[in-house]
């Protein structure tokens, strides 16, 4: 029995290490495009869920996720990242970080536009101020 448990544990560990090495080395443009849109969307959903869980414990894993993320938008941003040939050898986590930067910049721009002080608009019943002499 001990031999079966030891063999199973070693097989699990070897399989896990090989899968981790494969994911680390091949999670680039070829893998991103090779498995299609379902893989891309699943990767984005899983990645954002993992970051949401981890961001409270390790600040290095933070990417901006407010509320429920728009997964298709993230997928499109990663595809835009890989549209540049210079990024073909970059990892998918690097693409997710770049997409997070775009999302964060858009959020900050929108927030600034919403919180900017606006001049009061005259109401229909109010009189215009007299012209200065």
pLDDT in tens, 11-20: 555 555 555 5
The structure's pTM equals 0.49
With a CB cutoff of 8 Å and minimum separation 6, the contacts of 128 are: 122
Q: Tell which residue, 82, 83, 81, 87, has the closest CA to residue 99.
A: 81
Domain membership flag for residue 107 = yes
Domain count for the chain: 1
**Which range marks the domain in which residue 53 is found?**
26-112
Q: What is the per-residue pLDDT across 61-119, written as a single tens digit (0 to 9) for each?
A: 556 666 777 888 988 999 999 999 999 888 888 888 898 899 889 888 988 888 877 76
Domain membership flag for residue 56 = yes
């Amino acid at each position: 029995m001990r031999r079966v448990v030891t063999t199973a544990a070693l097989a699990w560990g070897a399989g896990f290490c090989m899968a981790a090495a494969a994911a680390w080395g091949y999670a680039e443009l070829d893998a991103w495009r090779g498995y299609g849109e379902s893989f891309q969307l699943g990767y984005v959903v899983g990645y954002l869920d993992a970051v949401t869980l981890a961001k409270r414990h390790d600040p290095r894993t933070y990417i901006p996720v407010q509320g429920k993320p728009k997964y298709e938008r993230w997928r499109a941003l990663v595809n835009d990242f890989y549209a540049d040939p210079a990024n073909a050898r970059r990892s998918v986590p690097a693409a997710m970080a770049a997409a997070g930067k775009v999302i964060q910049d858009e959020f900050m721009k929108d927030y600034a536009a919403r919180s900017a002080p606006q001049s009061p608009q005259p109401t229909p019943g109010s009189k215009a101020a007299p012209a200065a002499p």
